[in-house]
Structure 1
Amino acid sequence: MKKEKNSLLVWVANISFIIISFIALFPILNLLISSFRPSSELMRNGISLVFDPSTLSLNNYTYIITQGGNYWSWFINSLSISAITIILSLFFSSMVGYALALYDFKGRNLVFGFVLFILMVPFEILMLPLFQLMINMNLINTYTAVILPAVVAPVAVFFFRQYAIGLPKELMDAARIDGASEYGIFFKIMLPLMAPSMAAMAILQGLGSWNNFLWPLIVLRSNDMFTLPIGLATLLTPYGNNYDILIAGSVMTIVPIIILFIFFQRYFVAGLTVGGVKG
């Protein structure tokens, strides 16, 4: 009787997860189908699953691939900014989080308190002082202004600190006895142990940088320097709405994130769950 009850619960859980997954994937499916529809069809019926199958074509994607000069420029800009942001953020944030977790120094708790405070402050409140700082540093309309605020992200520092707390300090002591420097301990011993957390944070930081719209919109001025979210937004104007190109371009923006997740997925769950159980 108990076995049958457990089997029924498993079936109910599986069906529930399937329904939830379909609800979550429905907007993406709708967007994917709409990307094959012409602009006139979209303007007439909107983005919906009610459409004429005979109107579906690859014209939108063909236009982007063959004539979307600005699109590929925006795509490369976003790709470059995201890649640099991921590398710098992982490097510096992991060092800060590691130091806060495994080193005892004066003011450590105060520094960590500042990290938590900044983590709780909405970015919209920090935009004005950050923008003024970029002006004073003459970085407006540069990619440095887009990347710099994300180099040491509070969420990444907090994440790496929580992960590093679970690392064995005995390895550090053994390495010191063997004559290893503190940098050697970090790069040769501790950093490889932090690989799951690095992979998980690479996905989260990459996703945040790739989809970042507001801050690049504030600091960038030139059309050829726009990132993909800003560039796609410029397709909607009072004089013409290129919804067909906009939707097809939006679908193509999902591809790098999917590739990033596939590449790091084997470490993603481990990086998020480690430290949740102590023993």
Structure 2
Amino acid sequence: MSKSLALIGRALTYLALSLAAFVSIFPFFWMVLGTTNTSADIIRGKTTPGGALVDNIIKFLNSFDIARVLFNSFLIAGLGTVLTLLVASLAGYGFEVFRSRFREKIFGGMLLMLSIPFAALMIPLFMMMASFRIINTYQAVILPGIASIFVIFYFRQATKAFPSELRDAARIDGLKEWQIFFYVYMPVMRSTYAAATIIVFMANWNSYLWPLIVLQTNEMKTLTLVVATLTAGYTPDFGVIMVGAIAATLPTLIIFFLLQRRFVEGMLGAVK
């Protein structure tokens, strides 16, 4: 009797997980099917493959300078990710390793700033970028996100698991603090860096509101912005929009699948 109940319970669990997986995957699956159908077929709710894939791709590529747009997107997302990881990990490491009277108060004040919505910061940020004369540049998009408070918090919490014995041994061997950070801390915390890379890259790649404000010419637009413009017409071509959505999704999927093992370790606080 107990075995039967266990089997029924397991079957119900797998059924629930299967339904959850289907609900999660179906929108992406429907989006992939949409790239093969015409706009009229998509409006009718067609859920079978069509023959318009090549036409949709050609229309998408002809809608704008795809090479320039991809260059803008990868430069902003890639450079922004590297700089954010460097600055945030240095700050997180410093907050945890170095002691001072005001450390916790400063850190608490930073965390309190997370409660401020970005909408309240847009105008001051824009005025600051305008005063620096860097509106419509890559710097204007990248600089405001480098010192991410959330990522600093994440690295500080991860640094708590960093063995202090390694740092002490490195100091005994004569390494300076910056050498300990680059040659000891960073290799040991690679899982944390991998998890943070996925989070930061996705945030930079999918960023829409701030780039929309500061990037004012078509030559500077990112893929997220130009895909959004495809819906602006009176009769949007949903097949082309689906192609754009897939193109905007693929880089983040690739990054995640390449770093997924490290991502899980980093989220669990694994240190090797």
Please say whether Structure 1 and Structure 2 have the same fold, judged by a TM-score greater than 0.5: yes
Look up the equivalent residue of 2:38 and give its one-letter code. P
Secondary structure of the residue aligned to 1:139 is: coil
Tell me the CA shift for residue 262 of structure 1.
1.4
Indicate the residue corresponding to 2:127 in structure 1.
132
**1:151 to partner: Cα distance:** 0.8
User: What is the CA distance between 1:39 and its match in structure 2?
Assistant: 2.8
Q: Does 1:83 align with 2:78?
A: yes
Task: Specify the alignment match of 2:10 in structure 1.
Answer: 10
Alignment of 1:188-207 (within 5 A): 188-207=183-202
Q: Which amino acid aligns with 2:112?
A: F
Q: CA offset at residue 105 of structure 1?
A: 2.2
Segments ≥4 residues shifted beyond 4 Å: 1-4, 53-56
One-letter identity of the residue aligned with 1:151: I
| 1:185 maps to 2:203 | no
Partner of 2:168: 173
Q: Is the CA contact 1:102–1:169 (under 8 Å) kept in the aligned structure 2?
A: no
Shift of 1:146: 0.3
Q: Which moved more, 1:4-13 or 1:194-203?
A: 4-13
Report the equivalent of 1:29.
Answer: 29
After TM superposition, give the deviation of residue 220 of structure 1 in Å. Answer: 0.7
Aligned mates of 1:235, 1:247 — CA distance in 2: 10
Shift in Å, 1:40: 3.8
Task: Choose from 139, 146, 153 the match for 2:141.
Answer: 146
8 Å CA contact 2:33, 2:50 repeated in 1:
no
* TM superposition score normalised by structure 2: 0.92
> Which structure 1 residue ranges, 5 or more long, are not aligned?
none
Q: Secondary structure at the match of 2:65?
A: helix
Tell me how many residue pairs correspond in the alignment: 270
- Which of 57, 64, 71 is matched with 2:66 structurally? 71
Correspondences of 1:1-279 after superposition (within 5 Å): 1-42=1-42, 44-45=43-44, 48-49=45-46, 55-65=51-61, 67-238=62-233, 240-274=235-269
8 A contact 1:85–1:209 mirrored in 2: yes
Matched AA of 2:55: N
| Equivalent-residue separation in structure 2 for 1:248 and 1:178 (angstroms) | 56
Partner AA of 2:157 in structure 1: Q
- Distance in 2 (CA, whole Å) between partners of 1:125 and 1:161 is 27
Q: Residues 3 and 173 of structure 1: is their aligned pair in 2 closer, same or farther, counting only changes over 3 Å?
A: farther
Which consecutive residues of structure 2, in runs of 5 or more, have no partner in the other structure? Answer: none
* Structure-2 separation of matches of 1:108 and 1:54: 60
Structure 2 counterpart of 1:31, which letter? M
Q: Measured at CA, do residues 3 and 195 of structure 1 come closer, stay the same or move farther in structure 2, by a change above 3 Å?
A: farther
